[in-house]
Amino acid sequence: MAQYSAVGSDHHIAQGASSQRHEYLLGRWIGALFAILFRENAMQIDEQHKEGISVTQSKTTKSTTHWLPRSVLASALLVFGACLVVPLATVEAQTAPAAYAAAKNDPVKLRNFLFRMPKGGDLHNHLTGSIYAESYLGWAAEDGKCWDIPGQSISPGPCASEQVALAEVFPGGRETPRLSVDPMVDALSTRNFRLREESGHNQFFATFARFAEASFGRRGEMLAEVTHRAGRQNIVYLELMQSLGMLEAAELGKATADLDAQLGQRVDYAEVDKIAAAVVAQVDAMEAKARAVNRCDSDAASVGCQVKVRYLAQVLRTWDPQEVYVQTVLAYKLIEADPRIVGLNFVAPEDHPVALRDYRMHMQFIAEIGTLFPEQTKGITLHSGELALGLVPPENLGWHISEAIEVAGARRVGHAVDIAHTPDLYPLLKKMAAQQIMVEINLTSNDVILGIKYPYHPFELYMEYGVPMALSTDDEGVSRIDLTHEYQRAAQTFDLSYARLRSLSRNALQYNFLPGDALFDDTYKGKISGPCANQSAAEELSSGCAAFLDASEKAALQWDLEKRFAAFEASFD
Ligand SMILES: [Zn+2]
């Protein structure tokens, strides 16, 4: 199995790459023989999972002519190869699985394959952490902000001593810095973090305070950046986490909340409603600005305009109980108030002393307040088990995931890498599989923050037990990655098949929090029941299927992804 030697850049993926990239062919007809053999390979890969290849297998079967046994073809190829060795053009694989099989051990080709491959979505993606440092520095320069040299951070103007006006660093705009900004970019991200005297964990979390000032007033530009980046990668959907209104909710909690009062009377709900209304207005403004930045109403619209975006309200879990409580109420209120806000999450370092101390209490908060918002409890996802031995005492390991699921009612869990420490490991895995509790997998983040990577990452354990997973970035700006990078990392680290990658892509829509019934019974097998069961994405919709998709926002987007897969797979014909 290919493994990563380091993180943060595609440059590091080369460990498993074939040292031989040169391909030799003996003319056109031998090329055809190769193509047949490649197809056979692809079929063997997919045949392990016979029903998971509805589109690709039928294409393969249709286009392959078995007029000679494979052994004869291979022998012919070897004989001619021994006689005539001439450099030839690269063979173009003629199905997506074949192209994937051919690219799998070549990180350059694999990057391109996965970049173009449709990806359902990114369900674990913090908006402020998704912005690249160069953008923050550029906006800060335009907004008259400063670089604080001792703090290695962006600070508000006017600039004091030991601070540099960023406008002077970027006199001609964000693309023309006067000085090297490399140290600033490093300070605002985990780039080159191994050269610093800080752990990946501390560097990662320190960046958020360093760039926060630059995010103020720039939400629209931030949304434009992440959607544009997603659109370029053929990503259909984003569920972005942000904490709009949470500071105000925490202040309200600190000033007025009474956690000893009866449920429903612990908080001034009318005040929370006012905060929720202000957040909805902020989301309106942010989306309008993003559409303007991406020129969505013009002929020159960014690909980002095609990306559907929904939001998760993120509660900061390292504050006092009253503050966390009212944030949680606000999160539920926001889901109730605005269909664009589809769920909630608890964030900030799970290993923080307050987060550890209050974890059980927080799960109770989510459950109790959820009884007042039963409809909104469908959108609960929680960072849980983002912990490692050594980072915290062993007694803190092995129970956060089960508490999130069993007490708080989480439908998805983020990271979930400490599961090996769970006393009842196998019953928990079976329960997650049975209840279809999806795990949001963040491979680069886990490596940098926790030092957890193959073979210590539980990805294969979840796969073995049929626990659904989707790949996500966590913080693509801080980590200097993108979602394609995470697909590549997963593909190479775990030696995944094309069918598995397609399933991971589908899962991001199957388990998102959009309303409506999901399309698939099984994303891996491609099994669909109901009115769209015998429908191909390349055909005209039956009236029953069209009605089903009309009634389900989730399934409609899933169908869009299937159409993209059909087009992607047809591109290899
Ligand atoms: Zn996260």
Query: Could you tell me the distance, in angstroms and rounded to a whole number, from the CA of residue 265 to the centre of ligand 1?
Result: 31
Kindly give the distance from the C-alpha atom of residue 228 to the centroid of ligand 1, in angstroms, as a whole number. Answer: 21
pLDDT of residue 432: 98
How remote is the CA of residue 398 from the centroid of ligand 1, in Å? 19
Q: What is the pLDDT of residue 20?
A: 32
Per the prediction, the chain carries an average pLDDT of 87
Give residue 414 CA to ligand 1 midpoint distance, Å: 7
Is the pLDDT reported for residue 30 higher than 90? no
Q: Residue 291: what pLDDT?
A: 98
Q: What's the pLDDT score for residue 68? A: 41
CA of 474 to the centre of ligand 1 (A): 5
Q: Look at residue 62 and tell me whether its pLDDT is greater than 60.
A: no
Distance between CA atoms of residues 306 and 311, nearest Å: 16
Rounded-to-integer distance, Cα 91 and Cα 212, Å: 49
Instruction: Name the residues around ion ligand 1, CB cutoff 5 A.
Output: 474
pLDDT in tens, 196-225: 888 999 999 999 999 999 999 999 999 999
406 alpha carbon to ligand 1 midpoint, in Å?
21
User: How many angstroms does the Cα of residue 540 sit away from the middle of ligand 1?
Assistant: 40
| Residue 219 Cα to ligand 1 middle (Å) | 19
pLDDT, one tens digit per residue, over 415-464 is: 999 999 999 999 999 999 999 999 999 999 999 999 999 999 999 999 99
Confidence category of residue 92, pLDDT binned at 50, 70, 90: low
Q: Which of 86-95, 158-167, 392-401 has the lowest mean pLDDT?
A: 86-95
Q: How confident is the model at residue 139 (pLDDT cuts 50, 70, 90)?
A: very high
Please check the confidence at residue 84 and state whether its pLDDT lies above 90. Answer: no
Q: How remote is the CA of residue 126 from the centroid of ligand 1, in Å? A: 6
Burial class (CB in 10 A: 0-12, 13-18, 19+), 440: buried
More confident residue, 55 or 168: 168
Give mean pLDDT, residues 268-297. 98
Q: Which two tokens stand for residue 267?
A: 């908080």
Q: What separation in Å is there between the alpha carbon of 321 and the centre of ligand 1? A: 21
Band of residue 46 on the pLDDT scale cut at 50, 70, 90: very low
For the chain, the first-to-last Cα distance in angstroms comes to 29
Question: Could you tell me the distance, in angstroms and rounded to a whole number, from the CA of residue 175 to the centre of ligand 1?
Answer: 30
How does pLDDT run across 309-366, given as a tens digit for each residue? Answer: 999 999 999 999 999 999 999 999 999 999 999 999 999 999 999 999 999 999 999 9
C-alpha of residue 447 to centroid of ligand 1, in Å: 13
The 10s digit of each residue's pLDDT in 64-74 is 333 344 444 44
Residue count of the chain: 573
Q: Kindly give the distance from the C-alpha atom of residue 261 to the centroid of ligand 1, in angstroms, as a whole number.
A: 32
Cα-to-centroid distance, 349 and ligand 1 (Å): 9
User: What pLDDT shows up at residue 443?
Assistant: 98
Cα(397) to ligand 1 centroid in Å equals: 18
| Per-residue pLDDT, 90 | 56
Ligand 1 centroid – CA 297 distance (Å): 32
The band of 29, judged by pLDDT with boundaries at 50, 70 and 90, is very low
- What spacing in Å lies between the alpha carbon of 386 and ligand 1's midpoint? 9
CA of 303 to the centre of ligand 1 (A): 25
- Minimum mean pLDDT range among 191-205, 381-395, 495-509: 191-205
Q: What is the pLDDT of residue 534?
A: 87
d(CA 378, ligand 1 centre) in Å: 19
Mean pLDDT value across residues 268-293? 98
Instruction: Report the pLDDT value the prediction gives residue 197, as an integer from 0 to 100.
Output: 84
3 state SS of 413: strand
Distance of CA 313 from the midpoint of ligand 1 (Å)? 12
Rounded mean pLDDT of 236-263?
A: 97
Give me ligand 1 centre to Cα 124, in Å: 6
The rounded Å distance from CA 539 to ligand 1 centre is 39
- What are the DSSP E strand ranges found in 45-134? 119-126
Is 370 in contact with 341 (CB distance < 8 Å)?
Answer: no
User: What average pLDDT does the segment 152-161 reach?
Assistant: 96
**C-alpha 29 to ligand 1 mean position (Å):** 51
Q: How far is the CA of 561 from the centre of ligand 1 (A)?
A: 25
Residue with the bigger pLDDT between 95 and 61: it is 95
pLDDT of residue 94: 84
Distance 201 CA to ligand 1 centre (A): 13
pLDDT digit string, tens, across residues 521-539: 999 999 998 999 989 887 8
Please give the full DSSP string across 543-558, using - where no structure is assigned.
HHHHHHHHH-HHHHHH
Cα three-residue angle 167-229-184, rounded to 5 degrees: 35
- For residue 326 the two structure tokens come to 């009212």
> From ligand 1's centre to the CA of 438, what distance in Å?
15
State in Å: Cα 384 to ligand 1 middle: 10
What's the rounded Cα separation, in Å, for the pair 72 and 56? Answer: 25
Cα dihedral 278/284/289/292 (nearest 10): -160
